[in-house]
Structure 1
Amino acid sequence: MEDTHKKILFKYYSTYLEEIISETMWAEIIDLEKGYFKLDNIPFFGPLIATDDIFRAEYDETEKCFIHRETIESSGNSIVQILVLEDGFDAAIIKDKLKAINCVSESLNDTFLAVEITKQEDYSIVKMLLDEYESLSVIEFAEPCLSDKHRADLLKLN
């Protein structure tokens, strides 16, 4: 994987944790000389970036690794964060329901998930599922990186 991918450091302020966060994620090398990469991870807290977005990173001598500098091209994918509120609720239930509508998720722990919604998926369907669980006070969710395409999907709900 080291031949085709690099670990990239992302530093940003997390409003969720209310502190500066460092998160490393795998990215496919597009052009190492120019520092162009394609994100190959689902960000947990990340900046406004989603899987398959193209970005520029520079090697940082202090950190001894590549650091994200700017996003160049959006893939149209989105990232949603889910916090499980209800004690004892099995997050696998939501993960399975999301998987059934073609959304991959990764767990940080038992109560926090990051979800990838690819460009071709209709976000209004995902949002209805999340709204249902939020209305039951089982979860809270945030949409830190919602693509223009997925914003347009939401117009169908109104």
Structure 2
Amino acid sequence: MKEEKTEHAQIIVKSYSDMFEQEIEEPLWAFVLDKENRLYQIDSIPFYTSLISSNDIVFADIDPETKQLVYQKTVSYSGHSTIQVVLNDETIAMDTIREIFSQMRCVSEQVNDDFFVLDIPEDVDYRLVKAELDNLETAEKIEYAEPSLSDVHRKQTEL
């Protein structure tokens, strides 16, 4: 029986972080879609994890030792992309940079004083977002990485 998308669960994603050059465990919130079949829809923006984005549907199982839900695989990709952004210029407020992307319908979440992540919805033209990211990077305001670029957004940049 399918559950309503109101129940949340925390899923631990284990992966290797190029940023930290080590294995990491990142907790992500997800809607419970089908508890019996262990299907969940990611409801947070991954900070460090690659290849998973908001709204992706994943399969997670209980770790017998820790009794926590642990990510096993992505069942269905949402088309969302996740971008990591590091602020390089202390003279500009992070909120100012985040607002630029908010105007493009991209949600962001601040991780710390100089790092935030962007969620790019499937229906947002990534060429416009990437142009702004590139402009800010060229101006040495930010640096960014694309740890989870959806096929939809990847194809837009190849045109």
TM over 0.5: yes
Counterparts of 2:97 and 2:89, CA distance in 1 = 13
Unaligned segments of structure 2, at least 5 residues: 1-5
Counterparts of 1:152 and 1:132, CA distance in 2 = 20
Deviations 1:35-88 (A, max 9, x none): 110000000011311101011000012222100000011011100000111234
Which shifted more, 57-66 or 127-136?
57-66
Question: Residue 74 of structure 2 aligns with which residue?
Answer: 71
Tell me, what secondary structure is at the counterpart of 1:108?
strand
Counterparts of 1:155 and 1:9, CA distance in 2 = 33
Give the superposition deviation at 1:146.
0.5
Counterparts of 1:71 and 1:151, CA distance in 2 = 18
Code of the residue aligned with 1:53 in structure 2: it is D
Match of 1:106 among 104, 109, 112: 109
Unaligned segments of structure 1, at least 5 residues: none
Moved beyond 2 Å, runs of 4+: none
Code of the residue aligned with 2:144 in structure 1: it is F
Note if 1:83 corresponds to 2:86.
Answer: yes
Counterparts of 2:108 and 2:58, CA distance in 1 = 22
Match of 1:137 among 137, 140, 145: 140
Question: Residue 119 of structure 1 aligns with which residue?
Answer: 122
Give the superposition deviation at 1:94.
1.0
Q: What is the aligned-residue identity percentage?
A: 35
Aligned-pair Cα RMSD in Å: 1.1
Note if 1:32 corresponds to 2:52.
Answer: no
Give the superposition deviation at 1:98.
0.4
Deviations 1:64-121 (A, max 9, x none): 2100000011011100000111234311111100000100000100111110000000
**Number of equivalent positions:** 154
Give the superposition deviation at 1:138.
1.1
- Give the TM-score normalised by the residue count of structure 2: 0.93
Counterparts of 1:74 and 1:128, CA distance in 2 = 24
